[in-house]
Homo-oligomer: A and B are copies of this chain.
């Protein structure tokens, strides 16, 4: 007899759906959608201030225009004549380590560093984390942005987290990293939205392993709107345009012999 699958998320019986122990229908009308998402991820209801900051966190990444790679993928796929869910799924497949993944990586660094060194001086901890990454030849994820300087979403999210009393040790460590990195770079290298989300979700007590998922939860609404626009107002195959390619393979050559024919 096979063993059952353990789950602590949802229990169902006819007429009743319990999510983390709470009745889903009682939550409808009493909790906002974002508060229920918080419950799913943090395994507890948010306090009011936590709920407000988490709303803003989800709003911050809801869309970033046509050039975000996942949006590009979703719209290109939508232009190929597929149903909405397939285009959205393709876009989500593109949310990887190099796009939308910086938040998870940054949250991991913050959470692991503070779990290992709970009493550390944050400036020292930041210097040691930067040095460690420099040794490995890596860039610390969550700082700097190719378009925005500074990233206004990060500025706003951190201000809200401060005002609501959510900012704690993780936000403080992220700010220390920002300072050390900027010093080292000789120019301002401010937290971007991924870094700010990483710091804030860590101070909200959410596991860093949810980092990419939080980005997905937020962005999926933007993807849905983009795909809808492509399907209703776009042109077939319009979105993927010719790429300027430089062919560097073998020159034209003939097949050997005619032996096989």
Q: Check A239 against B5 for contact (C-beta < 8 Å).
A: yes
Number of copies: 4
Q: Report the interface size for chain A: residues with CB under 8 A from the other chain.
A: 134
- Is A96 part of the binding interface, using a Cβ–Cβ cutoff of 8 Å? yes
Interface contact B31-A59, CB-CB below 8 Å? yes
Contact assessment for B31 and A34 in the assembled complex, using a CB-CB cutoff below 8 Å: no
CB within 8 Å of B: which residues of A? 2-12, 14-34, 36-37, 40-41, 45, 52, 55-56, 58-60, 62-67, 69-70, 72-73, 75-77, 79-90, 92-101, 147-150, 152-153, 155-157, 160, 207, 209-210, 212-214, 216-218, 220-222, 224-229, 231-234, 236-256, 258, 260-261
How far apart are the CA atoms of A217 and B62 in the complex, in Å?
11
Given contacts A72-B243, A247-B8, contact A228 B210 (CB under 8 A): yes
Chain B residues lying within 8 Å of A6, measured Cβ to Cβ, are 233-234, 245-246, 248
Chain B residues with Cβ below 8 Å from A65 are: 7, 9-12, 17, 245
State whether A82 touches B96 (Cβ < 8 A): yes
Chain B residues, CB < 8 A from A23 = 252, 255
**Inter-chain contact B59/A27, CB cutoff 8 Å:** yes
Q: Is the CB–CB distance between B212 and A84 below 8 Å? A: yes
CA distance A114 to B16 in the complex (A): 33
Residues of B near A256 (CB, < 8 A) are: 45
Q: Which residues of B contact A221 (CB under 8 A)?
A: 36-37, 40-41, 217
Q: Given A22-B253, A60-B24, A255-B26: A222 and B85 within 8 A (CB)?
A: no
Q: A160-B28, A224-B216 are in contact. Are A97 and B82 (CB under 8 A)?
A: yes
